[in-house]
Amino acid sequence: MTPSFDSWLAELDREAATTRRVLERVPGSRLGWKPHAKSMSLGQLGLHVATIPGAVARFLLKDGLDIDGVSLEQPAAQSASELLPAAVMRSIMLNHWYHHRGQLSVYLRLLEIPVPSIYGPSADENPFAS
């Protein structure tokens, strides 16, 4: 495996553990709850957050991402249309996952369920405190 692929796997592994902590807090008795009529229900949002990593995996497998022979030299784009395929993994797939996980943490707060630490302490959990 090349270092870039290893770094993707390490990020997915870290983020999956964080996402699991958030999903473990979702109360099964409140899956139909919505903070607003235009919002997804807690159950819809939770399932969406839980299934995004599978979409990431399908994206990688479908496109047959070839990482052999990857050069460290960074060429410049010749047109704006070249930028989207390079950014899909981070901007659409992973950031989409992180966005909805953050949204789910707000749902938990509104339901007065303790919010786990995500990238640092939450008001309910401080992994750095002794």
> What is the sign, positive or negative, of the torsion defined by CA atoms of 47, 52, 53, 59?
positive
Q: Cβ(30)–Cβ(42) under 8 Å?
A: yes
Residue 84: per-residue pLDDT: 47
Where residue 40 falls (left for φ over 0; alpha for ψ -120 to 50; beta otherwise) is beta
Neighbours of 8 (CB within 10 A): 19
Residue 62: per-residue pLDDT: 67
CA atoms within 13 A on the CB side of 4: 9
Low-confidence spans in the chain with pLDDT less than 50? 1-2, 65, 67, 70-72, 74, 82-85
Residue 129: per-residue pLDDT: 86
